[in-house]
Amino acid sequence: MKRVVLITGGGRGIGAATARLAARHDYAVCINYLRNREAATSLVRDIEDSGGTAFAFEGDVSKEDQVVKLFEEVDWACGRLDALVNNAGMLESQMRVEQMNAGRLQRVLGANVIGSFLCCREAVLRMSTEYGHSGGAIVNLSSAASRLGSPGEYVDYAAAKAAVDTLTLGLAREVANEGIRVNAVRPGLIYTDIHASGGEPGRVERLSSSIPMKRGGTAEEVAAAIMWLLSDEATYVTGAILDVTGGR
């Protein structure tokens, strides 16, 4: 029987790269998306055309009722959950802290922090040996911003990802004796369209000279780290935060 992974925000970027790699590792892949149904369904078709199993489910992870519905749809489609990749997240346009209003903060913290907590909660209920299940693995997507702060650009996003780091450390210890491993991947400057959503599509190129490896990373390189943490090669790894940053 195939193991089942749910990847939030899985229709594009790092999420999509992880979905493709998980399918190649013989996972049944559940792809969550917020708005871009076309991208998610196209990814499902690509995976199925390559002999894999995939499903697409719409849902806003910052909304509790939609998270509950999302996990119920995974239950219905697959009957189990073995892995969660908490990838859904967002940032807004570059600005300083004194320019930020409460609405922006609520959106950024809702998507990145509340969504991660809610999805972890639902995953634990489906994985923990305390609830009669056989365990599983969770990988949260953090960011190098959590330790760099993103001054003048995204301090709110950086703070949200620092909360994800702390969630990872605390939850890992809560469920370590219940068959669940919880880790995080902390990408650096990666070529995805998140930079365009922040108002600077060429941000990776602008900052690449600050990276010891002198280049931005790819979504596939981050996906490889995520899949290692989910794999049986990492069975004694929990509470770890793995930087994928080119040395930055």
The question of whether 191 is a catalytic residue gets the answer no
Instruction: Please pick, among 154, 157, 191, 236, the residue that the annotation labels catalytic.
Output: 157
The C-alpha atoms of residue 146 and residue 160 are separated, in whole angstroms, by 8
Residue with tokens 């491993």, as numbered in its chain? 181
Grouping H, G, I as helix, E, B as strand and the rest as coil, residue 99 is helix
Nearest to 88 by CA among 127, 38, 44, 35: 35
Torsion angle of C-alpha atoms 221, 28, 172, 162, degrees rounded to 10: 50
The C-alpha atoms of residue 248 and residue 14 are separated, in whole angstroms, by 19
DSSP 239: S
User: How many other CB atoms are there within 10 angstroms of residue 37's CB atom?
Assistant: 12
Residues labelled as active-site residues: 157
